[in-house]
């Protein structure tokens, strides 16, 4: 799909320990590519992809962050405004799973309260069955505890990659619609109070969600 004519822009952030496969997941999704040997990300990088979700053209702006400790100050500046966050761990690396709680704290600290992003826990490298150290059940349990979404993926085998981004987009969109209807209800309430009778469709969409290039 051409990268123009989108109706809404969603900012997605990809976080997690170094080496879990964040860049690989993004590359697989946007460029349909996988490289068995990758250079560690320095700072942040982003790619975009326009997708069709429930009849709407959505531009996903996907921010890939460096997992390494020394980039935490830089990457921390990119949390603001994220509407969706993929928190990636490696199913063959228990430490990367254990440290997801720190990443969840980072989200709380670095996102603005009004951002309230949809968080998706992703157990990557599920093709490496013999080296698995984190069970699917443990991943599911953790996601349930925090009330976040969960999936296992493989960037190498293209397992669950597009499904994960599609699900994340769908949930953000549903939340957006809910926010818009709450905002309309609130405006209608205000109108009753102030006796104003016009309500433009444009005004029913929350400003921070609006972004159009048409």
Q: Are strands 149-152 and 56-65 parallel, antiparallel or unpaired?
A: unpaired
Contact map string, positions 89 to 108, toward Mg ion, x by CB under 5 A: --------------------
Residue 96, C-beta contacts closer than 8 angstroms, at least 6 positions apart: 16, 17, 19, 20, 89, 90
- Taking CB under 6 A as the binding criterion, the range among 98-106, 154-162, 189-197, 199-207 that sits at the site for ligand GTP is 154-162
Measured from the CB atom, the residue of 13 and 66 that comes closer to ligand GTP is 66
Give which of 94, 117, 113 is closest to 15, Cα–Cα: 117
> Using the rule CB under 6 A, which residue among 8, 12, 13, 20 binds ligand GTP?
20
The one-character DSSP state at 160 is S
Residues numbered 66 to 95 that lie near ligand GTP (CB under 6 A) are 66-68
Contact map string, positions 11 to 30, toward Mg ion, x by CB under 5 A: -----------xx-------
CB of 166 to ligand GTP, least distance (A): 18
Lay out the sheet containing 44-53: strands in order across: 44-53, 56-65, 8-15, 84-90, 118-124, 149-152
**Dihedral, CA atoms, 154, 142, 98, 100, nearest 10 degrees?**
70
Contact assessment for residue 91 and residue 133, using Cβ atoms and an 8 Å cutoff? yes
- Taking CB under 6 A as the binding criterion, the range among 2-10, 12-20, 48-56, 201-209 that sits at the site for ligand GTP is 12-20
**Dihedral, CA atoms, 22, 25, 29, 35, nearest 10 degrees?**
110
> Using the rule CB under 6 A, which residue among 35, 192, 208, 210 binds ligand GTP?
35
CB of 146 to ligand GTP, least distance (A): 20
Strand spans (E) along 40-107: 44-53, 56-65, 84-90
**By the rule CB under 6 A, 115 interacts with ligand GTP:** no
Residues numbered 122 to 151 that lie near ligand GTP (CB under 6 A) are 124-125, 127-128
The residues that touch ligand GTP, with contacts defined as CB under 6 A, are 18-24, 35-38, 40-41, 66-68, 124-125, 127-128, 154-156
């Amino acid at each position: 799909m051409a990268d123009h004519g989108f109706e809404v822009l969603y900012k997605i952030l990809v976080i997690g320990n170094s080496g879990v496969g964040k860049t690989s997941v993004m590359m697989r999704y946007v460029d349909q590519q996988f490289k068995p040997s990758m250079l560690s990300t320095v700072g942040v990088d982003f790619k975009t992809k326009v997708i069709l979700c429930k009849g709407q053209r959505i531009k996903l702006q996907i921010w890939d962050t460096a997992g390494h400790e020394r980039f935490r100050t830089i990457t921390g500046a990119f949390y603001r405004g994220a509407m969706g966050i993929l928190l990636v761990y490696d199913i063959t690396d228990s430490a990367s799973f254990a440290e997801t709680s720190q990443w969840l704290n980072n989200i709380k600290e670095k996102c603005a309260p009004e951002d309230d992003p949809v968080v998706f826990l992703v157990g990557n490298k599920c093709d490496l069955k013999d080296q698995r150290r984190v069970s699917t059940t443990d991943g599911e349990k953790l996601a349930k505890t925090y009330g976040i979404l969960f999936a296992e993926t493989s960037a190498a085998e293209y397992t669950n990659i597009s499904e994960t981004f599609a699900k994340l987009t769908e949930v953000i969109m549903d939340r957006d619609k809910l926010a818009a209807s709450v905002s309309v209800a609130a405006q209608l309430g205000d109108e009753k109070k102030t006796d104003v009778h016009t309500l433009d469709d444009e005004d029913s969409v929350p400003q921070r969600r609006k972004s159009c290039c048409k």
